[in-house]
A = this chain, B = another copy of it.
């Protein structure tokens, strides 16, 4: 028996058989139990292997998995502080009745645990810290060559993204034709079809552990950068090349169970059931519902889970399996009001996981200016939702490392502005909500006495200081409240603090103006915002 504590784990003692001292593991880190044993049949299908982890307040059943080479593993993420004991169960003697104990200790500074929703319209880490998703997209970066993968991680490190949408399966699409390095299944044979094209036939009974090792390595690499892996479990971009979009039902289920046994213990994974689910022609809504339930049932930690459709295709996100709403649509980001509507409808956090890309493609989805990409992200955020960034520049041909699919270098301009916006939010008191919903389309607040007013494309010489009397759950604004104001150039990424202090006069038709009707002179530029903070 071998015990290893992976990436970022406070590994205090390594002990062999017959533990005496207690092992310690940080809360929300990962413990791996590893056993080599003889067995009969197919390690992926004929061996039952799980463990019951017991804590004073919680019992979790954790599935193990076959990792090839006669080796079975079991990975566990302790969710509560204190002593955990485990006992394994198996139909293979060499895996059964293994027991052990570990102590879950306080996490280190940069470990905040899994991201959750807590039945709110916003996200928090398990330790209570607010998580503001600022994601980007690189669907198949993990299927590119090693050098390009390394470059992608470097680019992400320079950025301030904290989420990435990426696919488990490789991608075959216009502009993305690369053959992956590894495949999730063992190749059985290569045939030719009637047209003479090569057709790979997979042994769906044999997962390829090397494929998953590579995926896991990169999820861990993302974790060390503070990035959540919004992992896309299925997608339609296969078109008969590998057939992973059209596997038999029982293979889909086995794939989910195997994948989740391997990586549910990674604290930075989210499940995205699909990208553009409605373009996957082989699956019905009933299939998606079943696969989603399979994910939820195979996940002892209940990671975030959603599903993503084509433009303006809304799945029934109210189903309880979905922790949040992940949508491809441009309409909600046309104005903060529109984005806020979706929150009001679903009562769940809304992530607009594709509103188009900054780029230079001919396709409409891939040709926003950096200003527009930034503006649409601001619109969504002011409306109290979150908007995923993406970049699709192509200067030569499909061999360009167009970030949207392959990763590589950021070529655009909006990615920096996303970092600037993230910083603004993280400096604020909390997640944003429109102060006077459906009435005021520009004023958002993260807490009492704290506002962001976003002017979008409007260019104006001055703005007369005024705020709505309403501020959602933060209560009413009152006369005599004093404020300091910063002018924020959301595209230029500057913050200019005004010397004057503003003070609310008496209520004036649902709003408060400055008592002397003071104005703020503005640079005559679009994409300005104001940060307005009460002086206490």
Question: Which residue numbers of A lie inside 8 Å of B, CB to CB?
Answer: 311-314, 316, 318, 329-332, 334-335, 337-338, 340-342, 344-347, 364, 437-439, 441, 510
A344 touches B438 (CB 8 A): no
| Minimal beta-carbon separation of A341 from chain B (angstroms) | 5
Residues on B with C-beta less than 8 A from A437 are 311-312, 331
User: What is the chain B residue whose CB lies nearest that of A510?
Assistant: B364
A312-B340, A331-B338, A334-B337 known; 9 other A-B pairs, CB under 8 Å?
A: A312-B344, A314-B347, A318-B318, A331-B340, A334-B441, A335-B335, A341-B341, A341-B342, A345-B346
CB-based closest 7 A-B pairs: A331-B337, A312-B438, A331-B438, A338-B338, A330-B438, A314-B345, A314-B344
| Minimal beta-carbon separation of A322 from chain B (angstroms) | 13
From B311, B342, B438, B441, A438 is in contact (CB under 8 Å) with B311
A338 to B313, CA, bound (A): 14
From B313, B346, B347, A344 is in contact (CB under 8 Å) with B313
List 26 A-B residue pairs with CB atoms under 8 Å apart, sorted by A's residue number: A311-B438, A311-B439, A312-B340, A312-B341, A312-B438, A313-B344, A314-B347, A316-B318, A318-B318, A329-B341, A331-B337, A331-B340, A331-B437, A331-B438, A332-B341, A334-B335, A334-B337, A334-B338, A334-B441, A335-B335, A335-B338, A337-B338, A341-B341, A342-B345, A364-B439, A364-B510
Residues on B with C-beta less than 8 A from A312 are 340-341, 344, 437-438
A438 to B329, CA, bound (A): 7
User: What is the chain B residue whose CB lies nearest that of A311?
Assistant: B438
Residues on B with C-beta less than 8 A from A347 are 314
| Minimal beta-carbon separation of A471 from chain B (angstroms) | 15
A330 to B434, CA, bound (A): 14
| Minimal beta-carbon separation of A304 from chain B (angstroms) | 20
B330 touches A439 (CB 8 A): yes
With contacts A316-B318, A330-B439, A335-B335 taken as known, whether A345 is within 8 angstroms of B344 at the C-beta atoms is no
A364 to B440, CA, bound (A): 12
A326 to B168, CA, bound (A): 41
With most chain B CB atoms within 10 A of its CB, the pick from A331, A338, A346, A441 is: A331
Residues on B with C-beta less than 8 A from A331 are 337-338, 340-341, 437-438
A364 to B510, CA, bound (A): 9
